[in-house]
Amino acid sequence: MITIALNLAIAMVTLAALLNVYRLIKGPDEPDRVLAIDTLYINAIALIILLGITLGTRMYLESALLIAVMGFVSTVAMAKYLKRGSVIE
Amino acid sequence: MSPFAEYAISALLIFGGAFTLVGAIGLARLPDFYTRLHGPTKATTVGVGAIMLSSVIYFSAMGEDIGISEILITVFLLMTAPVSANMLAKAAMHIGVNTLESTKGNPWEQ
Amino acid sequence: MFDRLSFPQPWLSLILFTTWQILSDGVSGGSVVLGLILAWLIPQMTHGFWPERPAFVKTWRMPAYILRVLKDIVAASFSVAWLILSPRKPRPAFINYPLKLEHPLAISILASTISLTPGTVSADVSDDKKTLLIHALDATSDQEVIDTIHNRYEKPLMEMFQ
């Protein structure tokens, strides 16, 4: 049963990532694109966790943590760039 | 693995996947930037949280340690989601993105 | 000199130390030493960003607040999910929320809570820290949203910080 649920979850998260890519391409403004990337990295974390359960290993959690930290910092940097025109003042 | 753990893990996986999908549908479907901001900050965070929880239950049912790093990631996402939403809202107000015509009230000048 | 050796932000230091123990596989001599160094070094280096000591008085009230917020987050995502999937158009609104809290940390906790709970995202704080701009996804009346936030979240925070 877990296998079926796992495959369903992977399918749904992948579909979600595709929808994010649609928003990333369509825009129409820069904040929309940044928001799409922000959601995309959170979906990537979900996919990594699902992959970890599928393979029965917890090795990938470290990379999920790294993506979480880096994704947040890059979102903040991009938002700040859009607002001020520079990242570090 | 006990059948109860199996049910719980499957339910959490489908719940998490569904919410992640709903968040993305909101991002793709809602009419203006500020409404689109709501989907990812709530639905996606809860979806990923549920998937993390299922991972915690799965690995402890397999007889491994309690997954503290999963909880750490979830707490981190819960703490950062409102901050990035706030930063993006400020950036959007600065650029002056279009709002839906039926929106009551106005964004502030930046 | 004594100032340099102390922990100016005890809570931050405690959180940093615990996080480091979680990140390194299991508690060992090395991780404790490195954790202590980090718990001392990072608050010292970020000293300039923390102008005043946090005015946490009633820390024991925090777990009840966190539990309430977690419960509301799940409830919130159900209502947002329903709105996203239903065919009717949302009724978005910008709302000016009059803040009664004064401490900066309390305001930022309130703003984060608002962003995570029912249909609202906090967008900005005014320069005099008296008004919070909120975007609501589906609001029938401004006053209703303001009252809900005040009774559910701001009151417990006011008790915690005063």
Residues A54 and B42: beta-carbon distance below 8 Å: no
CATH topology (fold) of C59-161: Alpha-Beta Plaits (3.30.70)
- Report the C-alpha gap between C32 and A80 in whole angstroms: 36
Nearest-Cα residue of chain B relative to residue C136: B35
pLDDT band at C2 (very low <50, low <70, confident <90, very high): very low
Where along chain A do its domains lie? Answer: 2-84
Residue C27 has pLDDT above 80, yes or no: no
Q: What pLDDT shows up at residue C8?
A: 67
Backbone angles phi, psi at C58, to 5 degrees: -110, 75
Interface of B with C (CB under 8 A): 19, 22-23, 25-26, 29-32, 34-35, 37-39, 41-43, 45-47, 68-69, 72, 78-79, 81-83, 85-86, 89-90, 93, 99-100, 102-108
Q: State the nearest Cα–Cα gap between C131 and chain B, in angstroms.
A: 11
Q: What does the block give as tokens for C81? A: 């999910």
pLDDT band at C3 (very low <50, low <70, confident <90, very high): low
- Report the C-alpha gap between C17 and C40 in whole angstroms: 9
- Comparing CB atoms, the residue among C22, C73, C137 nearest residue B38 is C137
- The mean pLDDT of C91-104, rounded to a whole number, is 80
pLDDT in tens, C136-153: 887 777 787 788 888 888
CA dihedral B84, B86, B87, B90 (to 10 degrees): 160
The ipTM, to two decimals, is 0.85
Whole-number percent of chain A with pLDDT over 70: 97
Backbone angles phi, psi at C27, to 5 degrees: -80, 125
Residue C68 has pLDDT above 80, yes or no: yes
Nearest-Cα residue of chain B relative to residue C83: B26
Where along chain C do its domains lie? Answer: 2-49, 59-161
pLDDT band at B14 (very low <50, low <70, confident <90, very high): very high
Whole-number percent of chain C with pLDDT over 70: 85
- Report the C-alpha gap between C22 and C6 in whole angstroms: 24
Among residues 69-88 of chain A, which lie with CB inside 8 Å of chain B?
A: 69, 72, 75-76, 79-80, 82-83
Q: Token pair 């001599």 is at which residue?
A: C29
Can you tell me whether residue C124 is helix, strand or coil?
strand
Can you tell me whether residue C97 is helix, strand or coil?
strand
Nearest-Cα residue of chain A relative to residue B25: A19
